[in-house]
Amino acid sequence: MLALLAVAVPIRIAAAFNLSGSMASVDAPGWRGMRLAAEEINRGGGVHGRRIELVLVDGKSNPQGLGRQVDRLLAKGGIDAVAGLYDSDFALPVGRAAQRHRVPFVTSGATLPGLTKKIGDYAFMACYQDDQQAAAMADFARKVLGARDVGVSTDNRYDYPRAISSGFQREFRAMGGTTSRWGGYAPEAAYFAQMPAMAGPLVKQARKGGFAGPILSGDGFDTPDLARIAGADARGVYFTTHVAYDHPEPRIRSFVNDYEKRWGHRPLSASAALAYDSLRLVADAEARRGRGSLHAALAATRGFVGVTGTISYSQGSREPHKPITIVQLVDGRPVYESEIMPGK
């Protein structure tokens, strides 16, 4: 087997991440998660004797620059798939580059509704969508926390916060709640539809300003920078995410243990498990494709069990139907609260 691995052409995956700038706190754990998956696959003999080779493309938190980098790389040929990224503003230019070159793209955590349709048939999601996570948090806020009035803060410069803001408000109002713009009054709860870099500063500002109610958000709050910046003010904070690392599910425990053994610390964001799942999803499709294309094998995925849930693409859809996890920050660490399976 070692001799076979030495001569077989590797499976080359363009790993798209932002390792510096505003997105680094969520993308860096993803890069580590993907490397862990590649190392495990290669130790097991690769995929039919072919090892995984990751080609890092660091966008430095510049969406269009990252898209151009991926486009240039794919133009050279020899890349089997593109995977990674936690945000839709980055996934769109990268995915469109992959679509132009007819190379499959699996986004780990870009959750924009309809993302695959905006890109094309070579795009696949390993995560749920923003309208689903927003509806789950609205349900939690109304039924579990008993909130009737929520102040909403939205960063309208980006696709992700706009999507979760509109989804949350639509669902919360449908359940009899009211929403209004954050600021100038004291609502029962707050929903911050913001990018990861603003999570800590906004929570700290809200608490220092005297707001004591629950602060809610989406998976953009799943960044270690939230607790690092907000410190003791990061209390009563709930957000939707893709996995709770304190969950007793064996596959989650195994991933956390393996990640900690490899990197010396626990995974700091759900992006780690999502990127791990994304690469294993590509490897699973490669193992199944036979004489067909990797693109066709990915589209035929049914019942792939990952750390963050089960992925199936059915009826022409390239978005999985996965559970939404809700966590609360306790002493700076996300703690499992509940899990909601969105309606189809």
Q: Where are the domains of the chain?
A: 11-128+248-313, 131-241+326-340
Residue 6 above 60 pLDDT? no
Question: Mean per-residue pLDDT for 81-92?
Answer: 97
Judge: domain 11-128+248-313, CATH 3.40.50.2300: yes
Altogether, the residues listed in the chain come to a count of 344
User: Is the pLDDT at 4 greater than 50, yes or no?
Assistant: no
182 and 152 Cβ atoms separated by less than 8 Å: yes
- Around Cβ 109, how many Cβ atoms within 10 Å? 31
Mean pLDDT over 208-213 rounds to 96
Fold matches, 11-128+248-313 and 131-241+326-340 = yes
Which residues does residue 106 pair with via DSSP β-bridges, in sequence order? 83, 124
Average pLDDT, the chain: 96
Please compute the mean of the pLDDT values over residues 72-86 and round it to a whole number.
98
CB 273 within 8 A of CB 308: yes
Give pLDDT tens digits for 126-162.
Answer: 999 999 999 999 999 999 999 999 999 999 999 999 9
CA-based max dimension of the chain: 69
State the pTM of this model.
Answer: 0.95
Residue 203's pLDDT band (cuts 50, 70, 90): very high
Residue of higher predicted confidence among 344 and 273: 273
Question: So what's the pLDDT on residue 344?
Answer: 60
pLDDT at 5 over 50: no
Let me know if domain 131-241+326-340 sits in CATH 3.20.20.110.
no
Considering the chain, what percentage of its residues have pLDDT values greater than 90?
94
Give the number of other CB atoms < 10 A from CB of residue 127: 28
| Residue 321's pLDDT band (cuts 50, 70, 90) | very high
Which pLDDT does position 303 carry in this prediction?
97
